[in-house]
C-alpha cells in the first residue's frame, strides 16, 4: 500500500485540502472558504476522515502551510497556533493541535511561504539548491525559504514583507497601507497598496502605467536587501501581483544597479544568468497545497533528498 500524505493550505480566504504524495500524484482535493475556525477546521477534519476511510488508513501524516503570523517552534507551548492575525476569530487558534487530535496523526506545521518554498525546493524552481527564498506578492507580501537546507526559523519565522525600505515621499506620497508599519515593503508594494495608490485594481493597470516601474523599484530594493542578508542561490517571486510578467525584466535590470557591482556573483553580474536567478514559481498556484504535502512528508521523516 502506498503511504499517502495530507496537506492543508490554510489561507485567510480559503482552505485547500489534498491527499497524495507530490505534484504528479494528488488523489483527492477539497477547497472551501475560511469562515469561523470551528467550522473550517471541522470541514478539514471531515475531508481527511472520509479520505482515510476510503483509502484504508493510508494517510500517515498531515502538513499545514498556514497564513500567519504563526508559532512554528515545536518546543513552544503554543506551537502550531496562528498568533497575532487581524483576521476575526482566528487569533490564538491552535490549528495544528486541533488537526492532530482530530485525526490522531503527526502534523507538520509552518508558514504558507515556508511550505511553498519547501515544495519549490523539492519539485519546482529551486530543486538542487540549499539556500533560496520564495516571496509572494499579492494581497500581502510574505517570504520564506531555506538556508543551508533548512527552512528558515529562529526567533519566530521570517516576515520578509515587513522590512523597511527607502520611501521617497516626493516621488511617491502614498503613506502605505500596513496597519502595523504604514510604509513597510508590504504597505508600499502589496496588491491593495497599488490599488489604493492609483485607484485602480492592479490587474486593470496597463503595462506602461507608472505604477509598474515604482512597483519594480520597491521589489528590487527588497531583493537587494535579501541578497545581502541571506545570500540566496535563487529567488522565486510568486503571488497575484507577479502575474504581471513585465515586472520581471524591470526587476532583473534594477537589482544589479542597486547592488552596484559589490556582490561578485555571476547571476548578479550577468543579465542572462539573472533571468534564471529571479524567477516565477514552477509550481504556480499549486505551490501552496504541495507545500503542505511537503510539510507532511517532513513530519513523517520521509523527504526525497533536497
Which residues form the interface with Zn ion (CB under 5 A)?
Answer: 162, 178, 180-181, 184, 186
Closest distance of CB 178 from Zn ion, Å: 3
Q: How far is the CB of 85 from Zn ion (least distance, A)?
A: 14
Report in angstroms how near the CB of residue 87 gets to Zn ion at its nearest.
16
Cα–Cα distance for residue pair 45/48, rounded to 1 Å? 5
Rounded distance, CA 89 to CA 94, Å?
12
Give the β-pairing of 150-151 and 141-147: antiparallel
Nearer to Zn ion, 14 or 180 (CB): 180
Alpha carbon of 150 to those of 94, 179, 200: distances in Å?
24, 31, 40
In angstroms, what is the minimal distance from the CB of 215 to Zn ion? 17
Closer Cβ to Zn ion, 120 or 186, answer by number? 186
CB nearer Zn ion, residue 25 or residue 180: 180
148 or 179: CB nearest Zn ion: 179
CA distance 59 to 62: 8
Based on CB atoms, which residue is closest to Zn ion, 103 or 165? 165
Name the minimum Å distance from CB 273 to Zn ion: 32
Instruction: Decide whether 9 or 183 has the Cβ nearer to Zn ion.
Output: 183
Nearest distance from C-beta of residue 51 to Zn ion, angstroms: 38
Amino acid at each position: 500500500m502506498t503511504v499517502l500524505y495530507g496537506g492543508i493550505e490554510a489561507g485567510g480566504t480559503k482552505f485547500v485540502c489534498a491527499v497524495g504524495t507530490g505534484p504528479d500524484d494528488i488523489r483527492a482535493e477539497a477547497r472551501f472558504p475560511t469562515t469561523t475556525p470551528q467550522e473550517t477546521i471541522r470541514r478539514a477534519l471531515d475531508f481527511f476522515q472520509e479520505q482515510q476511510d476510503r483509502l484504508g488508513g493510508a494517510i500517515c501524516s498531515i502538513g499545514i502551510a498556514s497564513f500567519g503570523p504563526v508559532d512554528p517552534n515545536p518546543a513552544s507551548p503554543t506551537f502550531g497556533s496562528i498568533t497575532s492575525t487581524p483576521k476575526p476569530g482566528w487569533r490564538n487558534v491552535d490549528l495544528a493541535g486541533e488537526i492532530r487530535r482530530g485525526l490522531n496523526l503527526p502534523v507538520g506545521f509552518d508558514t504558507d511561504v515556508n511550505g511553498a518554498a519547501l515544495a519549490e525546493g523539492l519539485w519546482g524552481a529551486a530543486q538542487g539548491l540549499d539556500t533560496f527564498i520564495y516571496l509572494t506578492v499579492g494581497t500581502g507580501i510574505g517570504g520564506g525559504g531555506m538556508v543551508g537546507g533548512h527552512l528558515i526559523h529562529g526567533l519566530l519565522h521570517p516576515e520578509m514583507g515587513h522590512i523597511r525600505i527607502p520611501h521617497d515621499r516626493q516621488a511617491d506620497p502614498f503613506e502605505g497601507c500596513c496597519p502595523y508599519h504604514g510604509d513597510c515593503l508590504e504597505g508600499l508594494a502589496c496588491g491593495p497598496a497599488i490599488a489604493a495608490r492609483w485607484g485602480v485594481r492592479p490587474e486593470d493597470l496597463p503595462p506602461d502605467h507608472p505604477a509598474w516601474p515604482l512597483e519594480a523599484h520597491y521589489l528590487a530594493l527588497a531583493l537587494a536587501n535579501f541578497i545581502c542578508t541571506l545570500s540566496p542561490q535563487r529567488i522565486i517571486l510568486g503571488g497575484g501581483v507577479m502575474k504581471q510578467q513585465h515586472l520581471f525584466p524591470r526587476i532583473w535590470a534594477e537589482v544589479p544597479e542597486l547592488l552596484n557591482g559589490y556582490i561578485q556573483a555571476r547571476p548578479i553580474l550577468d543579465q542572462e544568468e539573472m533571468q534564471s536567478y529571479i524567477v516565477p514559481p514552477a509550481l504556480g498556484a499549486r505551490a501552496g497545497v504541495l507545500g503542505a504535502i511537503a510539510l507532511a512528508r517532513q513530519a513523517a521523516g520521509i523527504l526525497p533528498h533536497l
